[in-house]
Amino acid sequence: MSRAQALYKLWSEHPYFDASTHAELRAIQDQPDEIEDRFYCDLAFGTAGLRGILGAGTNRMNRYTVARAADGMARAIASRGKKSRDRGIVIAYDSRHFSEQFAWISARIFVGHNIRVRLFDALRPVPVLSFAIRYYGASGGIMITASHNPARYNGFKAYGEDGSQLPPDEADAVVAFMDQLPDITALTWPDEAEARASGLLEIIGEELDQAYQAMLLTLAINPDAAKRHRDMKIVYTPLHGSGNKPVRRVLAALGFRQVLVVPEQELPDGAFPTVAMPNPEERSALSLAIGLAEREGADLVIATDPDADRTGLCVRTRDGSYMVLSGNQIGLLLADYILSARKNSQTMPDKPFVVTTIVSTKLMRKVSAHYDVTLYECLTGFKYIGELIKEKDENGDMHYLFGFEESYGYLAGTQVRDKDAVVTSMLIAEMAAVARDSGQTLYDRLQDLYRRFGYAAEKTISLAMEGKTGLERIRYGMARLRRELAGAFPGLPIRQIADYAGRVRHNLADGTREALALPQSDVLLYELDGLDWFCVRPSGTEPKIKLYFGCYADQAADSESCLSMLLDQVAARIQAVLDEDAS
């Protein structure tokens, strides 16, 4: 009997598992491929914690896999001693199916390990959790969410004491404790009544919300502009998620009086009934918001994903239509706004720095150089931006101003250490008000930015590879690309290849190699002429491979032409490599 079959038999028959689990598994008893996919492995706990499809099985998100992860994290904290247990943990959750249940199970497990728990009284966003960890001086935190994934997903994000997602070494420690419990049926936890009676469980709410908002308002750059344009119409959609109250609250506090919320998407709903996927970067997810903006003549549309760590933006163009901005375009606008305001007001701190990722726009190199601000490019994942804030600002003599990644994540300020769609929404609205002072829209500011720094054509595409076979195809494809180097893409003017798994850069002109300083990661980045580049990276949270592209020129048409050629050539070659393995 295979591992998958043995575990399927255990989960479908053992009295430890509840009746709904038994029924769900009996319903697939004649589906060997489905059984294999659910049980061939444990849902991996990585540096982003757990994320997966909801359902019964070791490779699914359910009360038992969540309990195992919470138990491993609790043991890791308990192993540090009484001080860490007393500092405790903060737990939050979003609007997804079973999020509240998973949060309560996690809380009860931590109480069972004699660890103090602060649990939010209702759904909250990622940035509020990150802020709360630092506000309370907690040992860590948990956010139950699957971010912008489809409704059938949920996840368990694990955070360290600095408010960032766990770094690799701490995540490995949690995994080691999880592996000490090979038999899930040995895991038990107190019931809710016992947890409440323990004295270790505290329900938190309004006090923390007020402290978070007070912190946000200190990050406003030009609050007077918001008051001058208090009647500027802003359409906002939380996409059925946790951003509704905090975003509306901070915009009102700043002075905006015409924030129009999409009624069909206002209330929390884990089914996300109005969208195929609650992803604020997709125009289809914003169709209701754009329709409302068109009817009301709004200046902009702001959207946040279910856990309010990502921010989408649509701006009105000269002909009255609405353009959905890319994550890079939003990041460039905000960076230019923040840095120019600092320069013009003579409030630029000593040794300022900003951060992007290696797969974000290379125009940021020109923007940061223009303002004489140091730019750091880190690996994908906001925890790396958080680590730089800790190293360079909190423990160093530099001053962090702004950070972003192309996947619609942004952060100003240092009291949150993950993507913050609430402060981003506030700064976007304020930036639009400042643009109005000059008779501009945010679209006008973007075009002005391109005229000053050059035009960018950038795109990210994903090739989905579902299940065990898909993961094997991705591993094969990455290994082959490493073997072939530039030979994998004949005809392209590749100058250098940065292999972050091997932590080496290959200089193709002279055949030399140099070490890379960033941590190990399964990423291949190809540098072409000028600033042009493309990158191949398996997703860290979903079974897919991601391709990133950037082309830059003095004229928009030239950058677009370059992108079209590069994308077609690279995507076709990657797909051929993956298909060859499948055959």
CA–CA separation, 397 and 322 (whole Å): 42
**What DSSP string describes 169-186?**
HHHHHHHHHHHT---GGG
Which of 61, 102, 62, 108 lies closest to 89, judged by CA? Answer: 108
User: Does residue 2 have an active-site annotation?
Assistant: no
Amino acid at 322: Y
Which of 31, 38, 40, 33 lies closest to 2, judged by CA? Answer: 40
Which of 340, 322, 302 lies closest to 222, judged by CA? Answer: 340
Is the CB of residue 298 less than 8 Å from the CB of residue 169? no
CB atoms within 10 A of CB 158: 25
382 token code pair: 């906001």
Which of 527, 571, 523 lies closest to 552, judged by CA? Answer: 527
Please report how the helices 327-344 and 363-370 are oriented relative to each other, as an axis angle in degrees rounded to 10.
0
The CA-based angle 277-265-443, given to 5 degrees, is: 80
Positions of E strands within 395-495: 399-405, 409-411, 455-464
Which of 458, 456, 497 lies closest to 366, judged by CA? Answer: 456
- On the 0-12 / 13-18 / 19+ scale of CB atoms within 10 A, 81 is exposed
CA–CA separation, 335 and 329 (whole Å): 10
Catalytic residue among 95, 130, 147, 521: 147
Instruction: Identify any residues that bridge with 506 across adjacent strands, giving them in sequence order.
Output: 497, 513
Is the CB of residue 418 less than 8 Å from the CB of residue 309? yes
CA–CA separation, 64 and 21 (whole Å): 10
For the chain, how long is the longest CA-to-CA vector? 72
Positions of E strands within 369-523: 374-378, 399-405, 409-411, 455-464, 496-499, 504-507, 512-515
* Contacts of residue 405, Cβ cutoff 8 Å, sequence gap at least 6: 327, 331, 356, 357, 359, 360, 380, 381, 382, 385, 419
The residues annotated with a catalytic role in the active site are 147
